[in-house]
Structure 1
Amino acid sequence: MDLSSITSMRAARSRDDLALAPGESLLAGGSWLFSEPQSATSGLVDLTTMGWEPWCIGPAGLSIAATCTIAELLEPPAPADWTAAPLFRQCAEAFLMSFKIWNTATVGGNLCLALPAGAMISLATALDASCVVWTPDGGERHEPVSSFVRGAGRTSLAEGEVLRSVELPIGALQGRTAFRTIALTPLGRSSAVVIGRLDPDERLTLAVTAATTRPHVFRFGHPPTDDEVQDALRTIEDWYSDAHGAPDWRAAMTHQLAYEVCEELKP
């Protein structure tokens, strides 16, 4: 879509360039930005010209730049002990989009948009990812993705803050995962996503997204029983409602998917 309100566009080359003037918005992939009118936006600041490497593998795990595209996210040569590696493609394929959009849409854009069905939110939450946020005073702060996303379309980003990267810890990448999703139609937007991760010490993490307004993470010191799973899911109060599913249906499907995930991950 043409954005008829845009009168200026500039390329960001340094951190100082990320200070936005009135009416300016940051541009990464733009797959959502250009999908509908942006009447309050008169200028764009291109983040992709910052020259950030898409991803970097280190002793602590995987660092993903906010400007990393979905296609680039699937490139890292996962070490043999990264048993959670299949989750990357599973989440990428959960996007309601053509695979062609994978070359444009970014990890950071998906997180900052904070839609309940954000596939990168599902991935990052399940793998205990944290956000590195640049603050306007020249510093940075770190926050788990599970709390960075506050609700439908809401994040913890304050005025002047910029999401720099997403950090995935090595311990989570070495867990064994199970993935389940459901939608009202075969190619529809995810109505519920449940991901489980079983770590080598048999601790199990259960991440619920898409069915709720924000991510929910449940941790068990052992593979949980059905009753323990049900008790945990009963604490959710923010079941989402839109054209892709009613809250009661989403809750019922989440319970079913959670049981399936936990069954698959039994030692």
Structure 2
Amino acid sequence: MDLNTITDVRLARSRADLVALCTTVVPLAGGSALFGEPQNHLEGFVDLMTLEWPALTVTPDGLDIAATCTIAELSRFPAQPGWLAHPAFFQCCTALFGSFKVWNVATVGGNLCASLPAGPMTSLTAALDGEVLIWSPDGSERRMPVTSFITGNTTNILTPGEVLRSIHLPLRALEARVGYRKIALSPLGRSGAVLLGRLERSGAFVLTVTAATVKPVQLSYDALPDADTLRADVERLDEWFTDAHGAADWRRAVSCVLADEIREELA
């Protein structure tokens, strides 16, 4: 939709150009979330795409994903030797409720910053123990897990002037076996629940629940749990919510079923 209150769009060429950010001037990347609903409080944008950050960088420690990396770029990223979790990239990209046009403009960072419960990039990066890098206005930076970055339904820890720079996925998680499950009330509807289970080489198991909860929730075990233990732990979660895409009790029930399917797959 048109944002008629925007009077200025600045093209960022360096970090120094980000000083213009404030409560009424915000970062712009793909814009699929910003232009999806009225933003009457905004007066300007600072375009991050002109910073030309490398979209995806393989490092000895894992993978760095620029906040400006598009969903399309991530979906096409080739498998790396030993990265058993790689199929989850495309699986989570296909959980995005949008056409190919959206895929080509929507960004990984934008999806995280929108902080919707059903954000598929939240599902992927949280499940793989992603860590965000945040640039602060004073020139400092801070890092934190994706599970701490998202605080609730459409809320996160960013303050005015801060920018999500990148997301790091550790090699340990990328080398793990991953099981993925998604359910929605309609074939093209927003996800009602997205669960990913990760079984590491050490035998440790981590289940990440998203879309069904207001923020990503993880259950961690030293070894693959039995069916009864996993079900009881999923049922005890209290972040379930109700909206047009599913009732809280339905989300809890289907999450228990999907969690057990993942457990059996990875076993």
Query: TM-score band (shorter)?
Result: over 0.9
Deviations 1:220-263 (A, max 9, x none): 11111112112321331121211000100111011110010101
Name the aligned partner's letter for residue 228 of structure 1. T
Deviations 1:34-93 (A, max 9, x none): 112211111111011112110100100000000000111123332220010000000000
Name the aligned partner's letter for residue 27 of structure 1. L
1:40/1:170 CA distance change after superposition, 3 Å: same
Distance 1:147 1:105 in 2: 22
Structure 1: gaps (5+ residues): none
Aligned positions of 1:24-43 closer than 5 A: 24-43=25-44
Q: CA deviation at 1:21?
A: 4.6
Distance 1:99 1:202 in 2: 38
Check conservation: 2:22, 2:161, Cα contact below 8 A: no
Secondary structure of 1:94's counterpart equals coil
Residue 107 of structure 2 corresponds to which residue in structure 1? 106
1:14/1:151 CA distance change after superposition, 3 Å: same
Check conservation: 2:235, 2:252, Cα contact below 8 A: no
Runs of 4+ in structure 1 off by over 3 angstroms are: none
Residue 10 of structure 2 corresponds to which residue in structure 1? 10
Residue 163 of structure 1 corresponds to which residue in structure 2? 164
Secondary structure of 1:218's counterpart equals strand
Secondary structure of 2:195's counterpart equals strand
Distance 2:181 2:141 in 1: 34
Check conservation: 2:56, 2:65, Cα contact below 8 A: yes
Tell me whether 1:69 sits opposite 2:70 in the alignment: yes
Distance 1:158 1:25 in 2: 11
Deviations 1:160-218 (A, max 9, x none): 21100000000100001110010001111000011001111211110000000000011
Residue 195 of structure 2 corresponds to which residue in structure 1? 194
Residue 120 of structure 1 corresponds to which residue in structure 2? 121
Check conservation: 2:176, 2:200, Cα contact below 8 A: yes
Name the aligned partner's letter for residue 176 of structure 2. G
Secondary structure of 2:236's counterpart equals coil
TM-score (norm 2): 0.97
Tell me whether 1:218 sits opposite 2:216 in the alignment: no
Residue 56 of structure 1 corresponds to which residue in structure 2? 57
Secondary structure of 1:234's counterpart equals helix
Structure 2: gaps (5+ residues): none
Secondary structure of 2:168's counterpart equals strand
Aligned length: 266
Deviations 1:105-158 (A, max 9, x none): 000000011000000000001100000111122111110001110000110112
Residue 174 of structure 2 corresponds to which residue in structure 1? 173
Distance 1:112 1:173 in 2: 23
Check conservation: 2:23, 2:161, Cα contact below 8 A: no
